[in-house]
Structure 1
Amino acid sequence: MDSLYDGLYDDADRERLVAEPPKRVDAPERTAFERDRARVVHAASSRRLAAKTQVVGPQSDDFVRNRLTHSLEVAQVARDLSRALGSQPDIAETAALAHDLGHPPFGHNGEEVLARLAADCGGFEGNAQTLRLLTRLEAKTFDAAGRSVGLNLTRATLDACTKYPWRRGDRPGPKFGVYDDDLPVFTWLRSPETGQRQCIEAQIMDLADDVAYSVHDVEDGIVAGRIDLTRLDVGPVGEIVRDWYLPDASDDDLAATLLALRDVGGWPASSYDGSRRSLAALKNLTSDLIGRFCGAVQDASGAPGPFARYRADLVVPDQTRREIAVLKAIAVHYVMRSDDRRRLQERQRELLAELVAVIANRGPDALDRPFADDWREAADDAARLRVVIDQVASLTDVTAVAWHARLTGVSGA
């Protein structure tokens, strides 16, 4: 299959931090990028995603998405879009599978807590943590000096996994893609002339993430009884669109966007009632919306190709951006900002802060063996705090609660 893309990716794109000998000649032949995908699929961090919050906690309902199911859906969207554009689908799919590996317990709520607590050791950001996992924390390969290089993925795949290719403080806002002590590998995987530009495979992953969670979070909210698309409170939704996503969106823009969404073939004319027919209609709506968004981007991006590395960019029409933003805002207003959700988030923040404090106080005795080793090798307090943050970020929602109860003697999230 890779022969289709031989002219698009060179030896530098396939290079790994640590050179690897050829595999057994009698083993099934796989390309370098297929091997990358397999390594992410089999990583311990991937398994943990099944017990990490997407929007609603994974333990709250069998239907709602967790970080793993979300990542699988993003991967499917990324692979299909990549293939349609003529890009290498294994790279975009692997980046999609990996894009949330660095998220801590309790979703973005947990990310905000760790960012505040890690201010003295370089901050915390889920995407920077993903790079750290892929290139350091996951156990697979060691270099000649005995240092872990994580999964030892190819340069092209690691670059595709870099959603925010800049350091903390290089741009306004909380998003960044690399901690200062991971700069050596970041420098290795990036070319100076690319600046802060995403490669096309990272752009595909980024769009697939936006498409998947804008549509699926609304779907989850509808099934949970929190969202009724036939009775939307337009005012608060518009405010969230401007506050969170598109500050320049006008009232006329938002009104036209909602009208366009309501014209989508599968948009419901009646409230969801939990029946099999109603669920089928909802599934058809999600399919229609994903096809609408990806089709619009594919048509707008059209040319010039080829869609590999830095030879092209995705073109996302303004209308598509607005429609995605409106769907995100609907989920925020009706699910993430509900009173019960806010109370739960407050307790989660307290729990994570207490957990970081007690682990930092107890040191290596409170850490899993790999992180205890990192603690003993740390040169200063900032490095030791980073180890604690790495440990806590690796936990699932359930294990964070269990660790907190065990280490503090206080139960309950």
Structure 2
Amino acid sequence: MAFPAPLAPYAARAELTRGRLHPEAESRGRTPFQRDRDRVIHAVAFRRLKHKTQVFISHEGDHYRTRLTHSLEVAQIARTLARALQLDEDLAECLALAHDLGHPPFGHTGEDVLVECMAPFDGFDHNAQTLRLLTKLERRHAAFDGLNLTWETLEGVVKHNGPLTGPLARKKEPLPAAIVEYAAGHDLWLDSFASLEAQVAAIADDIAYNNHDVDDGLRAGLFGFAEARDLPLVGPAIRTAEAKYPQAPRDILIAEAVSDLIGAMVEDVLAETRRRLAAAPPASADEVRRASAAFCAFSTDMEKDLGGLRSFLHENMYRHYKVNRARSQAKRIIKSLFDLFFTEPETLPPEWRERYEGGSEARRARAVCDYIAGMTDRYAVREYRRLFGVEFDG
């Protein structure tokens, strides 16, 4: 098998993978990380991202981002960063494509409701749900549940935002049940950082959603050029586009500004990451994992500007009354579906009833949660209409 080269010493190496939980013969034409990426792309959960919300409810417009288009954009940025840093592009791409698989319908609104509903039953976390999908819920193979991905991919999915246990963990609350359950049989080094490929995928997610939320917010009219010109990062990009293309229509100016913004953030990450790598050069991927801090990061100045941008988007986009109205309806849909399926489990499809029959209330709640979390926005709306006979306006 031919493996891509050259890679930096600190890159994850497909030929040195720690392997899969269930041993399989390797592909003759693909590296283990390429095979992982292909399994993610062919997963049912990946296809469902097409009709899952990023910010807007999916039927509000054909041009706004969904979880699928967002994931593809994250993958493109992750590959760019990985190539520049001489990392394994296939692993970075795989992690970028998989990072949102566990999100329920209606974005963070759906997650908030499931967190509330599952509070008495080991909770809900979209990152843990991604692991659950990849290791248990996806059913495409006769020999095992899940996709049987490599250790490096599963590690990156779980720890892309940093260590989950130990002194370096950002959050001190108990781990989600799905992660505890899986890690008991497959040690993912939860107290360490993930590979640089996983760190690249995580920061590519930040770059994508910040820029694309600006793009979608401007195009949807949730805020205008006048407000955007006063923003850090965005304002200079808009003024540069206007000066360079004074006759260009508004939609072209938005595209030019967002393109420049993405480029500026990518360059900032590359400069800061190279600075950190040069200051304490890791000799292997495991040295990246055992480091005391992440290597892949924004500069201090960029992080400060991003803080101002995020605050603006939070107030002017995520809390916009149009978005809040859709969020309000989405909350009622998810809560109503959960309550009905939990109290009247005979209304669940047979294949989902089979997952808890003979088990505890907690097991029933988890089956209901898995069913709802896997829904697309439009399927959740259809279920709500079928079961409650109520129209949904979004």
The bucket for the TM-score relative to the shorter chain is 0.7 to 0.9
Matches within 5 A, 1:129-168: 129-141=129-141, 148=145, 150-162=146-158, 163-164=160-161, 165-166=163-164
Gaps of 5+ in 1: 235-257
Q: Give the AA of the match of 1:408.
A: F
Distance 1:411 1:391 in 2: 22
Q: Give the AA of the match of 1:263.
A: P
Q: Secondary structure at the match of 1:344?
A: helix
Asked if 1:327 is matched to 2:303, the reply is: no
Distance 1:209 1:344 in 2: 24
Please point out which of 264, 268, 279 is paired with 1:296: 268
Q: Give the AA of the match of 2:287.
A: R
Please point out which of 219, 225, 238 is paired with 1:223: 219
| Residue aligning to 2:23 | 19
Greater mean alpha carbon deviation, residues 357-366 or residues 216-225: 357-366
Distance 2:94 2:383 in 1: 31
Distance 1:112 1:233 in 2: 32
Verify the 8 A CA contact 1:14 1:33 in the aligned structure 2. no
Please point out which of 176, 201, 212 is paired with 1:179: 176
Task: Go from structure 1 to structure 2 and tell me whether the alpha carbon gap of 1:108 and 1:42 turns closer, same or farther (over 3 Å shift).
Answer: same
Task: Quote how far apart the aligned CAs of 1:307 are.
Answer: 8.8
| Residue aligning to 2:199 | 203
Q: Secondary structure at the match of 2:344?
A: helix
Task: Quote how far apart the aligned CAs of 1:127 are.
Answer: 1.0
| Residue aligning to 2:361 | 381
Please point out which of 333, 357, 374 is paired with 1:394: 374
Asked if 1:405 is matched to 2:382, the reply is: no
| Residue aligning to 1:42 | 42
Distance 2:57 2:221 in 1: 15
Verify the 8 A CA contact 1:405 1:411 in the aligned structure 2. yes
TM-score normalised according to structure 1 size = 0.81
Q: Give the AA of the match of 1:52.
A: K
Verify the 8 A CA contact 1:140 1:151 in the aligned structure 2. yes
Q: Secondary structure at the match of 1:47?
A: helix
| Residue aligning to 2:235 | 262
Gaps of 5+ in 2: 289-294
The RMSD of aligned alpha carbons is 2.9
Task: Quote how far apart the aligned CAs of 1:310 are.
Answer: 3.9
- What's the CA shift string for 1:367-389, capped at 9, x where partnerless? 362x2221226x31111101100
Distance 2:257 2:49 in 1: 26
Task: Quote how far apart the aligned CAs of 1:200 are.
Answer: 1.9
Q: Give the AA of the match of 1:204.
A: V
- Identity among equivalent positions (%) equals 33
Distance 2:365 2:314 in 1: 32
Distance 1:198 1:297 in 2: 17
TM-score normalised according to structure 2 size = 0.85
Distance 1:343 1:307 in 2: 52
Task: Go from structure 1 to structure 2 and tell me whether the alpha carbon gap of 1:308 and 1:357 turns closer, same or farther (over 3 Å shift).
Answer: farther
Q: Secondary structure at the match of 2:70?
A: helix
Task: Quote how far apart the aligned CAs of 1:186 are.
Answer: 2.8
Verify the 8 A CA contact 1:160 1:202 in the aligned structure 2. yes
Distance 1:190 1:286 in 2: 40
Task: Quote how far apart the aligned CAs of 1:212 are.
Answer: 0.3
Aligned length: 373
Task: Quote how far apart the aligned CAs of 1:337 are.
Answer: 1.0
Task: Go from structure 1 to structure 2 and tell me whether the alpha carbon gap of 1:320 and 1:62 turns closer, same or farther (over 3 Å shift).
Answer: same
Verify the 8 A CA contact 2:229 2:235 in the aligned structure 1. no
Higher relative contact order (CA closer than 8 Å, sequence separation 6+): 2
Verify the 8 A CA contact 2:103 2:373 in the aligned structure 1. yes
Task: Quote how far apart the aligned CAs of 1:171 are.
Answer: 5.6
| Residue aligning to 2:258 | 286
| Residue aligning to 1:128 | 128
| Residue aligning to 1:251 | none
Q: Give the AA of the match of 2:52.
A: K
Verify the 8 A CA contact 1:51 1:397 in the aligned structure 2. yes
Q: Give the AA of the match of 1:226.
A: L
Verify the 8 A CA contact 1:159 1:190 in the aligned structure 2. no
Matches within 5 A, 1:304-315: 304=278, 305=281, 309-312=285-288, 313-315=295-297
Task: Quote how far apart the aligned CAs of 1:349 are.
Answer: 0.7
Distance 1:102 1:15 in 2: 23
Task: Go from structure 1 to structure 2 and tell me whether the alpha carbon gap of 1:15 and 1:224 turns closer, same or farther (over 3 Å shift).
Answer: same
Distance 1:190 1:394 in 2: 26
Q: Give the AA of the match of 1:339.
A: Y
Distance 1:81 1:221 in 2: 26
